[in-house]
Structure formats: structure tokens, C-alpha cells
């Protein structure tokens, strides 16, 4: 199994956590998102992933993009260490929180959006920072409210789930961009608990071979 990713990619970070939680052996292949104009735009990689994004998982002759789809594939193909509750309502609640992050928060601060803001629209660094803080604050405020009803040690009681994977990766992004997280004590506690686990430690961006 091969994972094409980049150490700082939030989406690739999610998949690494899932792979380590499930103790799946994989080869990590770096796709540098900045060097040489971005290796994700190279012809060979764009054939593999026409969206010019990471991650891409390759399992034999099967390839798949989109982090949540990849994690769901791993969930079905490697059921050890389940990442969703067994009941239907619990499963969709976990999935909904992951989607809140994947659809409503992360796309507004990912690399290509930032490049468009700075390069094409000529947005200043100060304005770009306000953009990042605005959308992350809206997202984290909603998540904090939800976790008030569901959290134990982790997002949903005391079992690690897909929701924790997505939350940890997004909070890492928030710290990277100096977003004030002091208003979110539940989020911070959940993330702290997750980051004590070996799988989360192995998946940390700075622990990757291509980290710079």
C-alpha cells in the first residue's frame, strides 16, 4: 500500500493517523506541494490524481483520493481498530463532525486557496490572516458546542473515531497559522488526549521523512 502525500498536508495527515491506528504497513511517497511549482501538478501525478491534490492511496491496482473516502476504504478493508461506532446513529454523528471540518473549515484555509488569495487577488498577508482566523473561528465555535454534548476523552465518549482524526489535523493547522484557540477548552483537551497516543505521534507532520 502506498500513500502519496506531503508532510504539511492536513488531508494526508488524517490518512496517516488512520493507517497508524489500524497498524497498516504503508509506503509514504512525498509529493512536494511547493517545490518546482508544486509536484502535484506534474504529469505523472496528475494522471493518478486529476485534482492535483494529496493524498492519494494506491492499494495494488486500486487508487483513491479524498481523505474521508480513503479512511472509509481502510475501515472496510481493515476493520481492526474501528474508527466509527457500531450503531447507525453514532456512525453518522461521527461522520457529520468530520464533514463539518472537511467541508466547512479546511477548504477555506488550504494551500491552493491561500495561493489564490495572495497571488491572483493580491491579498495582503494581514488580510489573509484575518481570512484564516475568521473561518476557523466560525468552525471551531460550532464544534466546541457539539463536543459539549458528546465528548469524553475524545470527540465521542472514550473511543477514538474519525472525528478525532479530522479535529486533530485541523487544530494543528490552527496552531500553524497562529489562530487563538483559548476559547475552545473541550477541543483542546480532546486534541491533547489524542496526541498522547502512539498513532497520532507517528503521524505528526514534523515526524515525516519529508518534513522541512
Domain edge (last residue) among 81, 107, 130: 81
Which pLDDT value is given to residue 121? 96
Residue 205 covered by a domain: no
Average pLDDT over residues 122-142: 97
Which residues, at least 6 apart from 162, have a Cβ–Cβ distance to it below 8 Å?
Answer: 18, 68, 71, 83, 84, 94, 95, 98
**Residue 117 binned pLDDT confidence (cut-offs 50, 70, 90):** very high
Same domain, 193 and 92: yes
> Does pLDDT of 5 surpass 80?
yes
Phi and psi dihedrals of 81, rounded to 5? 60, 70
Same domain, 19 and 107: no
Which pTM was predicted? Answer: 0.96
**d(C-alpha 72, C-alpha 179), whole Å:** 30
Phi and psi dihedrals of 204, rounded to 5? -55, 140
> Does pLDDT of 66 surpass 80?
yes
> Does pLDDT of 188 surpass 90?
yes
Which pLDDT value is given to residue 159? 98
> Does pLDDT of 212 surpass 80?
no
Domain edge (last residue) among 81, 96, 125: 81
Same domain, 92 and 195: yes
Amino acid at each position: 500500500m502506498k500513500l502519496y502525500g506531503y508532510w504539511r498536508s492536513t488531508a494526508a495527515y488524517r490518512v496517516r493517523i488512520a493507517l497508524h491506528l489500524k497498524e497498516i504497513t504503508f509506503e509514504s511517497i512525498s509529493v512536494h506541494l511547493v517545490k518546482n511549482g508544486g509536484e502535484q501538478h506534474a504529469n505523472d501525478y496528475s494522471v493518478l490524481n486529476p485534482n492535483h491534490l494529496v493524498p492519494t492511496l494506491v492499494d495494488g491496482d486500486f487508487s483513491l483520493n479524498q481523505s474521508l473516502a480513503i479512511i472509509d476504504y481502510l475501515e472496510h478493508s481493515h476493520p481492526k481498530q474501528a474508527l466509527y461506532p457500531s450503531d447507525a446513529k453514532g456512525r453518522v454523528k461521527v461522520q457529520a463532525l468530520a464533514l463539518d471540518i472537511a467541508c466547512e473549515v479546511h477548504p477555506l484555509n488550504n494551500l491552493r486557496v491561500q495561493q489564490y488569495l495572495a497571488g491572483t487577488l493580491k491579498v495582503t498577508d494581514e488580510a489573509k490572516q484575518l481570512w484564516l482566523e475568521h473561518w476557523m473561528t466560525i468552525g471551531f465555535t460550532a464544534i466546541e458546542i457539539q463536543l459539549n454534548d458528546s465528548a469524553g476523552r475524545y470527540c465521542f465518549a472514550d473511543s477514538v473515531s474519525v472525528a478525532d482524526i479530522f479535529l486533530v489535523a485541523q487544530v494543528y493547522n490552527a496552531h500553524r497559522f497562529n489562530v487563538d484557540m483559548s476559547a475552545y477548552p473541550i477541543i483542546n483537551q480532546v486534541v491533547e488526549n489524542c496526541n498522547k497516543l502512539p498513532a497520532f505521534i507517528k503521524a505528526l507532520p514534523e515526524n515525516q521523512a519529508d518534513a522541512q
